[in-house]
Amino acid sequence: MTLPFADTNFAEATWILVVKSIVIFAVIFAIVPVLTVVERKVLGRFQARYGPNRVGPYGLMQPLADAVKLVTKEHYRPRNAIPILWPIAPALVVFTGVATLAILPFGDVKDGVGFYGIDVPIGILYFFAFGSIAFYGLLLGGWASGSKYSFLGAMRAAAQLISYEISMGLALLGAIMMAGSLSLVSIVEAQHQVWYILPQFVGFLIFMVAGFAETNRAPFDLPEADAELVAGYGTEYGGMRYGSYAMAEYIEMFVISGVAVTFFLGGWHGPGPGWLDPIWVIVKIFAFLFLFMWIRATLPRVRYDQLMSLGWKVLLPLATLNVLVTAVLVTVT
Q: Is 195 left (phi over 0), alpha (psi -120 to 50) or beta?
A: beta
CA-based nearest residue to 320, from 159, 203, 164? 203
* Candidate ranges 35-43, 267-275, 304-312, 319-327; the one touching another protein (CB under 8 A): 304-312
* Candidate ranges 189-197, 257-265, 302-310, 324-332; the one touching another protein (CB under 8 A): 302-310
Whole-angstrom distance, CA of residue 153 vs CA of residue 147? 10
Binding pattern to another protein, positions 16-55, x when CB under 8 A?
Answer: ----------------------------------------
* Residue 305 sits in the site that holds another protein (CB under 8 A): yes
User: Which 173-212 positions form the footprint of another protein (CB under 8 A)?
Assistant: 182
DSSP one-letter string for 43-73: HHHHTTS--S-SSSGGGTTHHHHHHHHHHHS
Name which of 8 and 36 has its Cβ closer to another protein.
Answer: 8
Among 98, 102, 120, 225, binds another protein (CB under 8 A): 120
Whole-angstrom distance, CA of residue 224 vs CA of residue 215? 11
Q: What are phi and psi of 109, to 5 degrees?
A: -75, 120
User: Which alpha helices (DSSP H) does 109-231 contain, by range?
Assistant: 124-144, 148-179, 184-189, 201-214, 226-229
Q: Which helix (H) or strand (E) holds 97?
A: helix 85-101
User: Which 145-164 positions form the footprint of another protein (CB under 8 A)?
Assistant: 145-148, 151-152, 155-156, 158-159, 162-163
* Residue 83 sits in the site that holds another protein (CB under 8 A): yes
* CA quadruple 201, 296, 266, 263: dihedral, nearest 10: -70
- 3-class SS of residue 282: helix
Task: Write down the least CB distance from residue 149 to another protein, Å.
Answer: 9
Whole-angstrom distance, CA of residue 172 vs CA of residue 143? 32
CA-based nearest residue to 229, from 296, 308, 147? 147
Task: Write down the least CB distance from residue 198 to another protein, Å.
Answer: 26
* Candidate ranges 31-39, 61-69, 122-130, 237-245; the one touching another protein (CB under 8 A): 122-130
Burial class (CB in 10 A: 0-12, 13-18, 19+), 54: exposed
* Candidate ranges 33-41, 44-52, 65-73, 128-136; the one touching another protein (CB under 8 A): 128-136
Q: What is the DSSP letter of 315?
A: I
* Residue 81 sits in the site that holds another protein (CB under 8 A): yes
Task: Write down the least CB distance from residue 320 to another protein, Å.
Answer: 11
Name which of 83 and 273 has its Cβ closer to another protein.
Answer: 83
Task: Write down the least CB distance from residue 125 to another protein, Å.
Answer: 4
* Candidate ranges 119-127, 207-215, 269-277, 282-290; the one touching another protein (CB under 8 A): 119-127
How many chain residues are in contact with another protein, going by CB under 8 A? 47
Whole-angstrom distance, CA of residue 188 vs CA of residue 263? 7
Give the footprint of another protein on this chain (CB under 8 A): 1, 3-5, 7, 80-83, 85, 120-122, 125-126, 128-129, 131-133, 135-136, 139-140, 143-148, 151-152, 155-156, 158-159, 162-163, 165, 182, 304-305, 308-309, 312-313, 316
